[in-house]
A = this chain, B = another copy of it.
Amino acid sequence: MTRPTLEKVAARAGVSRATVSRVVNGSTTVAEHIRVAVQRAVEELGYVPNQAARSLVTQRADSIALVFSEPPVRVFSDDPTFAGIIRGVSLEADAADKQVVLMLAGSSRGHERVERYTTSGHVDGVIVASMHGADPLPAALARRGIPVVCSGRPLTGSSLPYVDIDNVGGAESAVRHLLESGRRRIATIAGPPDMVAGIDRLTGYRSTLRDSGRRSIIAIGDFTRDGGFDAMNQLLEDDPALDAVFAASDMMALGALQALRRAGRRVPDDVAVIGYDDIPSAPYADPPLTTVRQPTLRMGRELARLLLNPGESVILPTELVVRESA
C-alpha cells in the first residue's frame, strides 16, 4: 500500500534509477525501447514522483503562491477582480508547468503563516494580491529572498515589481464621459485612502475636474454598499444641486443608487451615476450601471509572467462600459 518509488520502477523495468529519472523528466538521451519499457512500468505501478524528494535536490518547488492579503469575505464578494486574476495566473502558470497555490492572509496570523509557508521552500515565488498598498507582506517576503510580484502599485516605497491597472486613467474616462454629456456638478464617492485603487481613482477624478475648471465634491466610502449609501446621502446634503456622481466602486454605486432613489432623484435624468469594476450585477442594477471595466484576466497573466521572468512593472488600461445610469 506504500507508494512506489523510482527504485521500484527501475527494478520492474530492468534499468537503473537514473534512467527512470531521465524518462520521467523527459530527457532525450534515452533509447526508444527503454523509454517505452520504463513508461509501461510507471503506468503499471501508478508511479508519481515524490515532490519532496525532488524539491530537496533541485531546490525548486515548481509552484508559485498567489496570496490574497485580504479577509475572505472581500475576496469572495461580488467582485470579478480576484476571479480574473486567479484565472489569468493559472493560465500562465499552466503554460510554464507551475502549480498555483492560493493562500488567504487575512489576519496577522495569516501573514505569519504565509511567511512561514513561502520561506520554507514550498514555492518558487509569490504573487501578492493586496488591495492595501501599504501592506508589509510583499517587502517582508522580498527581504527573505523570495521573488515577489505585487498586484497593484505598492505604497510602501519599495521598488518591487508590480502589475497595476490604470486607475487614474479609468477615473478620468468616467469623469470625462460625465463632462461630455453635459453634467456640471460632478461629485465623487472615493475609496478608502489607504488603498491604491482608492487614491488613484480620486486623483483621476480631481485632475480631470480641475482641468475643466470645475470644483470637486468629495465623500469618502469604504468600497461597500452601505458606505456608498451613506456617502451619497452626505453628498446630497453638501450639494443638493449635484447632477452626477462617480463612485470608485460598483458596490458603492449600488448604495448610491439606493440613496438617490430614496431621496427622490431620478437616475440618470436628475443625477448620472458611474461606478467602477463592472461587477456581475452591474447590468442588473436599476438602472443598469455605467461603469469602468478592468482587464483582470490580463492582469493575472502579466502577474505570473512577471514572476516567472522578471522585467518592468506593467500598467494596464481600462474600458468604460456605458449602460443607462450615465
Contact = CB atoms under 8 A, between A and B. Distances in A.
A104 B122 CA distance: 18
A301 interface: no
A99 interface: yes
A232 to B, nearest CB: 14
A102 B99 contact: no
Given A102-B101, A120-B49, A284-B258, A76 B72 contact: no
A34 interface: no
A87 interface: yes
A76 B73 contact: no
A83 B75 contact: yes
Contacts of A280: 77-78
11 contacts: A3-B121, A48-B119, A50-B121, A51-B52, A52-B53, A52-B61, A53-B56, A72-B83, A76-B76, A76-B83, A102-B103
Interface in A82-131: 82-83, 86-87, 90, 94, 99-104, 109, 113, 116-117, 119-122
Nearest to A254: B284
A56 B52 contact: yes
B51 A120 contact: yes
A1 interface: yes
Interface of A: 1, 3, 46, 48-53, 55-56, 61, 63, 72-73, 75-80, 82-83, 86-87, 90, 94, 99-104, 109, 113, 116-117, 119-122, 144-145, 225, 254, 258, 280-281, 284, 286
Nearest to A87: B72
A281 B78 contact: yes
Given A52-B61, A87-B72, A117 B99 contact: yes
A120 B49 CA distance: 6
Contacts of A103: 100-102
Given A52-B55, A56-B52, A121-B52, A104 B78 contact: no
A195 B4 CA distance: 36
A101 B286 CA distance: 39
B61 A284 contact: no
